[in-house]
Amino acid sequence: MTEVETTGAWLSREDLDNARDRLPILYVHAIPVRVDERGVVTHVGLLLRADDGGGIGHEVVGGRVLYHERVRDALMRHIENDLGPVALPRVPLSPQPFTVAEFFPTPGVTPFHDPRQHAVSLAFVVAVMGDCRPQQDALDLSWVTPAEAASLAASGEMPGSHGVLVRQALAHVGFPV
């Protein structure tokens, strides 16, 4: 992975809040999966996180793309930050998202809602081959079957529209939802 110079890439809290009030922010989301020898998805990785309101829910890997950072590098960085340095993701040389998710601060504009900002996320299904361990603020990492992931996504246990992303990812890889 190419090292990204982040010294000038991070905004202060005030600058970020100001940008969020005026501009769409670019994100990447990755739905980590385990696949069998034929490339069929056998398990989906879901992070368990606590939110600011004290709730706990399942989420997918994701975060902002930094200034002057390639999308592929942002994916690799967020996977490493959330799943650990030996997750061994299989990100293609030229990754193609399965969807472009448009998050709006106003509920109901799209299925994606983020009360903080208008954001655009490129979402990817990424096979991981290595040992994954929850990192940073993640409480746990669960590997669930596609059927279990679909059930969790439909039950409303995934905050921030992550359930919509999981259902779309499952449909993209051929799992009926």
The answer as to whether 160 is a domain residue is: yes
Determine how many CB atoms are found less than 10 A away from the CB of residue 46.
27
CATH assignment at residue 153: 3.90.79.10
The answer as to whether 33 is a domain residue is: yes
Phi and psi angles of residue 61, each rounded to the nearest 5 degrees, phi first = -70, 140
The answer as to whether 6 is a domain residue is: no
| Cα atoms found within 13 Å of the Cα of residue 65, Cβ hemisphere only | 20
Cβ atoms of residues 146 and 175 within 8 Å: yes
**Amino acid present at 124:** F
The answer as to whether 28 is a domain residue is: yes
Domain span including residue 135: 14-172
pLDDT tens, per residue, the chain with 177 residues = 556 555 556 678 888 788 777 889 999 999 999 999 999 999 999 999 887 777 888 999 999 999 899 999 999 999 999 999 999 999 988 899 999 999 999 999 999 988 888 999 999 999 999 999 988 888 899 999 999 999 999 987 787 689 999 999 999 999 987
Q: What span, in angstroms and rounded, lies between the C-alpha atoms of 36 and 127?
A: 10
The answer as to whether 177 is a domain residue is: no
Q: How many domains does the chain have?
A: 1
The answer as to whether 31 is a domain residue is: yes
Q: What span, in angstroms and rounded, lies between the C-alpha atoms of 57 and 114?
A: 15
Q: What span, in angstroms and rounded, lies between the C-alpha atoms of 159 and 155?
A: 11
First-to-last C-alpha distance (Å) of the chain:
34
The answer as to whether 3 is a domain residue is: no
| Cα atoms found within 13 Å of the Cα of residue 99, Cβ hemisphere only | 20
The answer as to whether 89 is a domain residue is: yes
